[in-house]
Amino acid sequence: MTLRGERQADFAYQAVYRYMISLINEVSTDARVKLPSLRQLAARLNVSISTIQYAYSLLEKEGRVYSVAKSGYYAWPMTANLLTGVGGDLLDRLYAAARRPGMVVLSGDEPTLLASLDGTLLRLERELVRQYPHQLQPWSQACGVWELRAALAARYTSSPTRCWHADDVYIGADLRGVLAILIDVLGLRGTSVIVESPCDWLILRLLQDAGVRVIELPWLPDGRLDVVTLDQLLRSEPIHLVLLSSAVSLPSGVALTAQNCLEVAKLLDQHGCWLLENDTYGELGFKLPQMTLRDQVNPERLMVFSSFEKTLGSEAPYGYLLSRRQSSEFQRQFLLRSFRLSSIRQRAIARLYQSGRMDQHWRTLRQLLHEQAMQMAQRLERHLGDQVTYRMPAAGAAFWLGANQPVDMRQVFQRLVGRQVVVAPGELFSLSGLHHQHLRLSHTFHGQPDLDDALAGISEALHQAQVGQ
């Protein structure tokens, strides 16, 4: 099979992706199956290794494949081997459940299911291809095309002293790849990092796999970061950096108050500590404007990471990083990774920023998410009102629910899988055993499931899984 010639090189990964979906479906059995290596597939399909790597990263993020260090990629089993019992790796079992046909998947947090710019992005791409037919990849730009880097730098600049330049911005194939580079460049292996809790499982797993000592800072019940505990940790522990959300923390859905933001920024400045800011949901807060940590801390001890996928859609999976420091090392690491990113698609995203279309889209998406959250809250009150406690989310596409009675949440998960419903147990969002009485529940989802029936099933599962029943 040869992919070159059937479409422009910038779109080759899409054909590779479709081929690999078919391959996975063909080879999937009750046991794990090793997939062809990057080099084997590149030779078979006559495309670059980086194109294969990009397609694999998309499949891994979707839960269709997983990687084993120094071994390669494997397809998840299609049948229920990973779903039986309550032991084993819970995240593996969640991915396996979400893959099964006919499942109502309420475990994610995908805002763009309500509104994406995928169609607009592809139309812009086609216009750019017609305008520049011989300049699709004029030169290698390992850190991303200049137009998009400049657009992001402008977006994050807020004052003459808090300004960014295109050379401070680095764009990678996805958020996982960008964070992996960040961990390498900062030399985080063996160091101590404070992370807000609950925290996205992708971030936690990457830090864990890299040998980072993760110290979790739980949000207080009243929706504040515990500055007293943060101060104690900064005084007593050799903290390398602190990883916090910019304005809204998910999955908890809590927004930093202005006072809390100033208190945290003051502590970080007093201790001379670096802030690694997660801005993945920074544009999705329901109430704007919001004070961000990056505009309060010392800009010389600040790095910011995010991605386009949560706000644009699946056609823009790229992750990005802003950093004023260690530019030569970041450039070297991005060159070594040899991300083959579509220059046309990056330019199309840049045009969305430059034209103001992104701002318009964010306003629409925030409104839709807020309306959907309000409707979901009414359903939760009707079906789960006396069984769970929650705060109205301040952003994003999911609720963070806490059980009012002690329950075995793994058993809840298992019972719901039997009813073809997938939720995300809270323990996935911690490495130290926190949040066992919580779960994340999406209010945006694929298809048109009977949501009331799914919520009734959750209510029944919570009742049946009560400890001591």
> Does residue 230 sit within a domain?
yes
Which CATH number belongs to the domain containing residue 322 in this structure?
Answer: 3.40.640.10
Tell whether 260 and 315 lie within a shared domain.
yes
In which residue are the tokens 């920074």 written? 282
Q: Are 195 and 243 in contact (CB under 8 A)?
A: yes
- Backbone φ and ψ for 234, nearest 5 degrees, come out as -65, -30
How many C-beta atoms surround the C-beta of residue 443 within 10 A? Answer: 24
Name the 3-class secondary structure at 34. Answer: strand
Tell whether 121 and 109 lie within a shared domain.
no
Tell whether 323 and 459 lie within a shared domain.
no
Q: Which residues, given as ranges, of the chain have pLDDT below 70?
A: 1-13, 25-32, 61-63, 69, 76-88, 133-140, 338-339, 445-449, 468-469
Tell whether 48 and 145 lie within a shared domain.
no
Tell whether 127 and 111 lie within a shared domain.
no
Q: Which residue, 338, 357, 376, sits at the end of a domain?
A: 357
Tell whether 238 and 100 lie within a shared domain.
no
What is the separation, in whole angstroms, between the first and last Cα of the chain? 58
How many C-beta atoms surround the C-beta of residue 71 within 10 A? Answer: 9
Beta strands in 182-297 (DSSP E): 192-197, 213-218, 239-245, 248-249, 254-255, 274-278
Residue 6 confidence (pLDDT) = 35
Please choose, from the candidates 383, 376, 395, the residue with its C-alpha nearest in 3D space to the C-alpha of residue 445: 376
Residues forming beta bridges with residue 400, ordered by sequence position:
440
Whole-angstrom distance, CA of residue 239 vs CA of residue 237: 6
Please choose, from the candidates 34, 25, 41, 27, the residue with its C-alpha nearest in 3D space to the C-alpha of residue 68: 34
Please choose, from the candidates 110, 217, 56, the residue with its C-alpha nearest in 3D space to the C-alpha of residue 441: 110
- Backbone φ and ψ for 321, nearest 5 degrees, come out as -140, 140
**What is the residue range of 404's domain?**
90-115+360-465
Please choose, from the candidates 84, 102, 82, 80, the residue with its C-alpha nearest in 3D space to the C-alpha of residue 454: 102
- Which residues are CB-contacts of 203 (< 8 A; sequence separation ≥ 6)? 179, 195, 243, 278
Tell whether 339 and 422 lie within a shared domain.
no
The total number of structural domains in the chain stands at: 3
Whole-angstrom distance, CA of residue 351 vs CA of residue 84: 48
Tell whether 107 and 46 lie within a shared domain.
no
Tell whether 100 and 126 lie within a shared domain.
no
State the Cα torsion 376-381-387-392 to the nearest 10°. Answer: 50
> Does residue 304 sit within a domain?
yes
Beta strands in 208-301 (DSSP E): 213-218, 239-245, 248-249, 254-255, 274-278
Q: Which residue, 324, 341, 357, sits at the end of a domain?
A: 357
Which CATH number belongs to the domain containing residue 32 in this structure?
Answer: 1.10.10.10
11-62: pLDDT as tens digits = 566 778 778 877 776 665 556 678 888 888 888 888 877 778 778 877 776 6
Ramachandran region of residue 72, left (φ > 0), alpha (ψ -120 to 50) or beta?
left
Please choose, from the candidates 52, 49, 43, the residue with its C-alpha nearest in 3D space to the C-alpha of residue 19: 52
Tell whether 46 and 125 lie within a shared domain.
no
> Does residue 347 sit within a domain?
yes
Residue 139 confidence (pLDDT) = 54
> Does residue 40 sit within a domain?
yes
Structure tokens at 294: 């990056």
Tell whether 67 and 104 lie within a shared domain.
no
> Does residue 82 sit within a domain?
no
Name the 3-class secondary structure at 466. Answer: strand
Q: Which residue, 357, 386, 412, sits at the end of a domain?
A: 357
pTM: predicted TM-score of the whole model, two decimal places = 0.82
Tell whether 215 and 333 lie within a shared domain.
yes
> Does residue 7 sit within a domain?
no
